[in-house]
Structure 1
Amino acid sequence: MFFLKELPTRETLERYHKRFPGMRPEVIEEALHLMKKGSLLIRRLDEYFTGQGLSQLRYLILVVIDRQPDRDEMTVTELAANLDVSKPVMTRTLKGLIEDGYIDIAVHDKDRRVKLVRLTDKARAKLAAILPGYYETIQAAMEQLEADRA
């Protein structure tokens, strides 16, 4: 999250440039605007997912499994490799998804230590219901970004 509500002015960045000549004010200004817009988008998405009864992490776990083109399951290790969360957070989140009926976990046929995570029909229906709004939220944010640049 980017918590700075008011970005530094160009004049402020120019003053810093005098103190730190290697700094390029135009690049820093663009980056700060991008960080602020990204943070606002993340907040909008968090609000959207909350309204849908999910967190962003719960959504991401479901969609990462769903987007696999040739299979309908992933190992917990694969999920962890795709998401930047700690093992305890992943374990807790998967437990909640099981309790809510969004995923099932099975043991691998050949290696009983490997846990396979599968989406339930309820999860597939949930994704089908929320993906349009998810894409609309992102699209609206990008359209606003384009309008701000014009």
Structure 2
Amino acid sequence: MFFLKYLPTQSLILNYQEHFPDGAEPKIASRLEMLREASLLLRDLEDFFRAHDFSLTRFLICVILDRADEQGGLQHSEIVERIDVSSPVISRSLKSLIDERFVCVESETEGRRTKRNRLTDAGKARLQSLMPGYYEILLK
């Protein structure tokens, strides 16, 4: 993720106006501001999770597994589908969550290769401990 420390001035944007339709400058300026705010928010979230020996990816996995608890958890492919992160990154994050006993893996039926990932009680407690700080950052 890039960080746009200083937004381009209106005159700089207008220097490139031949590349966008007439009247698009306010929308471009607005979107650049939105990207800057998103960059700051992501930076704050990453700092928060790093301070709590966690990561945003691991947190998001816990969130979607918590939501899927009534379904009996999720398969690896379903987690990848719900989080816009590559399968190898999800695999590494899931492995660390399993190693720390925040997630358990269960077979759907005996002898079947289909495995479902579920949040453990420890994982639910960890998620609940992170939620207040997470929401505090979102509400800044």
In 1, Cα distance between equivalents of 2:6 and 2:133: 29
- 2:19 aligns with 20
SS at match of 1:106: strand
Aligned residue identity for 2:25: P
TM-score of the aligned structures, taking structure 2 as reference length: 0.91
Identity %, equivalent residues: 35
Superposed CA deviations along residues 87-125 of structure 1, whole A, max 9, x for unmatched, are 222211111111111111111106722111011111111
CA distance in 1, matches of 2:76, 2:53: 23
Cα root mean square deviation, aligned: 1.7
Q: Residue type matched to 2:124 in 1?
A: R
| Distance in 2 of aligned mates of 1:27 and 1:69 | 41
Q: Does 1:95 align with 2:91?
A: no
Q: Structure 1 stretches of 5 or more lacking a match?
A: 141-150
Report what 2:79 is aligned to. Answer: 79
| Cα distance in structure 2, aligned partners of 1:111 and 1:80 | 24
Paired with 1:2 and 1:97, the residues of 2 have a C-alpha distance of: 28
The one-letter amino acid paired with 1:101 is: R
**Whole-angstrom CA distance in 2 between matches of 1:44 and 1:78:** 28
- Residue identity matched to 1:93: S
- Give per-residue Cα distances to partners, 1:51-90, cap 9 Å, x unaligned: 1221000000001111237334111121111011222222
Q: In the alignment, is residue 122 of structure 1 matched against residue 100 of structure 2?
A: no
Measure, in 1, the Cα distance between the counterparts of 2:19 and 2:40: 29
Distance 1:38 1:111 in 2: 46
User: 3-state SS of the aligned residue for 1:73?
Assistant: coil
Report the residue type matching 1:125 in the other structure.
Answer: A
Q: Which consecutive residues of structure 2, in runs of 5 or more, have no partner in the other structure?
A: none
Show the counterpart of 1:70: 70
Which ranges of 4 or more aligned residues in structure 1 deviate by more than 2 Å?
Answer: 68-72
How many angstroms apart in 1 are the aligned matches of 2:111 and 2:58? 26
